[in-house]
Structure 1
Amino acid sequence: MDSLTQIVLGAAVGEAALGKRVGYKAALYGAIAGTIPDLDIISQAFVDTVTALEWHRGITHSIVFSIVGGLFFGWLVSLWEKRANWKQWYWLWILCFVTHPLLDAHTTWGTQLFWPLDMRLAYKNIFVIDPLYTIPFLVFLILALRRKQTDPKRRKLNNLGLLVSSSYLLLTLLLKGVTFLKFENALQEQNITYTEIETKPAPLQAILWTANVETEDEFLIGYYSLFDSRPITFGNHPKNHQLLGGLAENDKIKRLIKLTNGFYTITKTEGKLYFNDLRFGTLSVNPNNQQYVFSFLIEQTKGGVTITENRKRPEDAQKILTELWERIFGN
C-alpha cells in the first residue's frame, strides 16, 4: 500500500499495543515502524532494474525481518523509553512490522512474506492506493489521538478504525469473488478458451475490476463495473514472445518473466523492443489500449542486456483518472 496508509496502519497498531501505557509515543513509533519496510526502495539507486524489482517487498516485508527487526528496535527504544519494558516495546514493533506486509499481500505486487522461501503472496483484492480504505481509518485515528490517554473512548475509536478498515478489506475479497464469476461467465458465453485468469481492482477503488485472461497466443483484458448493464468486452493483446528470439535465454529476461508469472507481452516500436508487464494493466480503461503501466525497454549493449523502465508521465495519470471516473458508473 501507499506510504500514508502504512503510516496510519502502523500508528493505529502502535496505539492499540501500547497507547494506554505510553500515550502518543506509541502511535509515533508505530508510524515509524510502518514506514521502515518500504525503505527497500533505496536499493533502486544501487542495483539494476530487474534486481530492484526482485528486492522490492522482499526481505523487509518478511516474517524474518519482523521478528529480528522487532527485537532490535524494541531493545533500542527501551534504552530511553522507560514507561514500558523491552518485551512490551518488542511487541509493538513486531506487530507493526508484520501487519505492514500482511496488508501489502492484498495488493497486485504482493510480498515475500515467507522469505527466504521463493514465493510471493499477492491476493490482488485492493489497489495500492484506495481512499475508501485509508480515509475512514485516518479519521478514526485522529479522533482517537485527540482524546486523553486515560479516556476509554480513545481506545474504542482506535479499535473502531482497525475494525472498519479490516471490514473493507474483507469486502474487497468478497467483491473479487463476485467479479471473478462475472468474468468467468462472460468468457463461457463468448466461447473463449483460456488457460488462466487473474482479476484485480482498477485504480483507487473496488467498484471497477479488471481481468487478465491468458489464451494460447494472446492475452485478453476486460473491465467490469458493479454498475454495468451491458456484456463484458475483451481487448486483444498478442503475446509476441517470439520477438525475444535468443534473448529469451538471457538471465535478466528470465527473471523478468518469473516476476510477471508469465503475464507479459513483447512489442516492437521503431525498432525498439519492449517487455510489458500485464499484471498492472494499461494506461487506460479501454481494454484495447496498448500502453502499459509497466513497460521495459530491452537493449543489447557491449556489456550485455540493459533493461530500463519507461518513465511515467503526468498526462498519463490525468487521462486514466478521467476515464476511470466515467467507467466506474457502468458501460
Structure 2
Amino acid sequence: MDSITQAALGATVAGAIAGKRCNGKVLLAGALLGTLPDLDVFIDYGDDISNTVKHRGFSHSLLILLPFSLILAGLVQRLKPLADWSFARLWLLVAACLITHPLLDTFTSYGTQLLWPIAGYFSLSSIFIIDPLYTLPLLIALGIGMVRKASLARYCVIALCISSVYLSWSLAAKVYVEQRALASLNALGIADDTVFITPTPFNTLLWRIVVIDGDRYWEGLASVLDNKPQIEFIAQQRGHWPFENEPQLLQALATFTHGFIRFEQQAEQLLVTDLRLGMYGNLAFKFVFAERNNQGQWQSVVPYRLERGEIKGDLTKLKDRALGDQQINPSLGLCPSPCQLEP
C-alpha cells in the first residue's frame, strides 16, 4: 500500500494498543514503525528487475520482523524506559506496527515475501495499492482523536474495525467476481487454469480479469453491480521469448509475476511486461531486455524499466463501468471497438 496508508495504519494500531497511554508521541512512533519496512526501496540491487522482484523481501518478512521487534523494544526499554509501560505491551506495540505493514501489503497484487528467506510471493490481490475507502477511516479517527484526546484509543479501535471489515468485503467481492469469471470462461470454451483477478484503481467494485492462454491472453472487466453475470473478454497477443536461452533475470520476473508476462517488439526494443499491474494499454511495469544493433541483430542488455508514458484511453468511463454499465467496451475504450486480436 502507499506510504500514507501504512503510516496511518501504524499510528492507529499504536493508538489502539497504547490505550489510555496514547498521545501524539505514540502515534508518531506508530506511523514511523508502520512505514519502516518500505525503506528497502532505497536499496539498489544492481538492476531494475532485481529492484522490482526483491522489494517487499527481507524487510517484509515475518521471520525477520518478529525478532527485530523484540530487539527494538529491548533497546527502547534499556535506553529510554517508559513509565507505566511493561515490556510485553511495548513489544506488542512495536511488533504489531511492523507486522501489519506486510500483512496489508499482502492484500495487494504486487506480491510480498512474508516468509523470506523461504521463497514465495504472497498476494490476495483484493485491494488496489491506493484505496481511499480503506485509508479514510484511519485518517478520520486520528484527526478526531487528536481533538478529543480522552477517546483517542477508542477511535483508533473503531477505525481498525471499519478498515478490517472493508478488507473482508474486498475478499468477498473477489470471490463473487471469480465465480462469474470462471463460469464465463467455461461458456466461451477458454481454459481457466491460469486466471488473475485484481481490483481496478481506487475501488473494489470494478475488477480486472486476465487469463493466460498459450501465446495470447484474455482480459475482461466485471463490476459487482453488473446486471448480467456474463463477462466479456478481449484477446491479445502474449507473444513468446524469441531466443533459445532464458536469462536468469527473465526467470526471476516470471516467478515474481507467476507467469503473467507479455513479450513484444516495440521499435528497436524487446519488451517484457508484467500483465498484473495496471490496466489494458496502461501496464505499469515494462522492461527492455534486448535492443537491435546497427546490423539489425538483437543484442541483450541489462534489463531496465521503461518510464510510464501518458495514460491512454478514456479513463473517465471507469466510474460508469464500476457502476455496472455493461454497454461500455470491456477495455474502457482503450482499444478500438470492437476489440480485435492484436496482430
Q: Which residue of 2 aligns with 1:252?
A: 249
Secondary structure at the residue paired with 1:235? strand
Q: What is the 5 A alignment of 1:6-17? A: 6-17=6-17
User: Distance between the aligned counterparts of 2:96 and 2:82, measured in 1?
Assistant: 20
**Contact preservation (8 Å) 1:237, 1:265:** no
Aligned to 2:304: 308
Higher helix share: 1
8 Å contact from structure 2 (residues 121, 256) kept in 1: no
Runs (5+) with no aligned partner, structure 1: none
Per the alignment, residue 107 of structure 1 pairs with 108
Superposed displacement of residue 250, structure 1: 1.2
Match of 1:51 in 2: 50
**Per-residue deviation, 1:85:** 4.4
SS in 2 for 1:316: coil
1:296 to 287, 297, 301: 287
Q: Give how far 1:63 is off.
A: 1.0
Worse-superposed segment, 297-306 or 252-261? 297-306
How has the CA–CA distance of structure 1 residues 43 and 269 changed in structure 2, closer, same or farther, with 3 Å as cutoff?
Answer: same
TM-score of the superposed pair, with normalisation by structure 2: 0.86
Offset, 1:303: 10
TM-superposed CA distance for 1:304, in Å, is 5.9
Within 5 A, what are the aligned runs for 1:8-27?
A: 8-27=8-27
Of structures 1 and 2, the one with the larger relative CO (CA 8 A, separation 6+) is 2
Q: Which amino acid aligns with 2:136?
A: I
State the distance in 2 between where 1:209 and 1:171 align.
13
User: Structure 1 residues 258, 320: closer, same or farther in 2, change over 3 A?
Assistant: farther
1:267 aligned partner: 264
| 1:1-331 matches, cutoff 5 A | 1-44=1-44, 47-78=46-77, 79-83=79-83, 84-148=85-149, 151=150, 153-229=151-227, 231-243=230-242, 245-246=243-244, 248-282=245-279, 284=280, 289=281, 291-299=282-290, 305-313=301-309, 315-316=310-311, 321-329=315-323, 330-331=325-326
Distance in 1 between the 2:314 and 2:16 partners?
38
Alpha-carbon deviations, 1:83-108, whole Å to 9, x = none? 22444322211111111111111110
**1:161-199 Cα distance to aligned partner (Å, 9 max, x none):** 000000000000000000101111111222223422121
Q: Is the 2:61–2:116 Cα contact (8 Å) retained in structure 1?
A: yes
Per-residue CA deviation, residues 42-61 of structure 1 (Å, 9 max, x unaligned), is 014x5211211122011111
- Normalising by structure 1, we get a TM-score of 0.89
Query: Would you say the 8 A contact 2:15–2:152 is kept in 1?
Result: no
Deviation at 1:76, TM superposition (A): 3.3
Q: Given the superposition, is the C-alpha separation of residues 303 and 240 from structure 1 closer, same or farther in structure 2, using an over 3 Å criterion?
A: closer
Q: 1:19 to 1:145 in 2, by over 3 A?
A: farther
CA distance in 1, matches of 2:32, 2:209: 36
CA distance in 2, matches of 1:72, 1:321: 48
Closer, same or farther: CA 256–122 of 1 in aligned 2, 3 Å: same
SS at match of 2:236: strand
RMSD: 2.2
Task: Give the partner amino acid of 2:223.
Answer: S
Contact preservation (8 Å) 1:62, 1:101 = yes
Q: Which amino acid aligns with 1:316?
A: I
Q: What secondary structure, in the 3-state scheme, does the structure 1 residue paired with 2:21 have?
A: helix
1:263 Cα offset (Å): 0.8
User: Given residue 57 of structure 2, which amino acid in structure 1 is its aligned partner?
Assistant: G
What's the offset of the Cα at 1:293? 2.0
Shifted more, 213-222 versus 159-168: the winner is 213-222
**Identity value in percent:** 32
How many residues align? The count is 317
Show structure 2 runs of 5+ residues with no match.
327-343
Amino acid at match of 1:74: A
Moved more, 231-240 or 174-183: 231-240
Q: Answer yes or no: is the 8 Å Cα contact 1:195–1:216 preserved in 2.
A: no
Give the drift of 1:146: 2.2
Query: Which one-letter code corresponds to 2:67 in the other structure?
Result: V
Structure 1 residues 108-155: Cα deviation after superposition (integer angstroms, max 9, x where no partner): 01211111110111000111100111112211222123223xx3x333
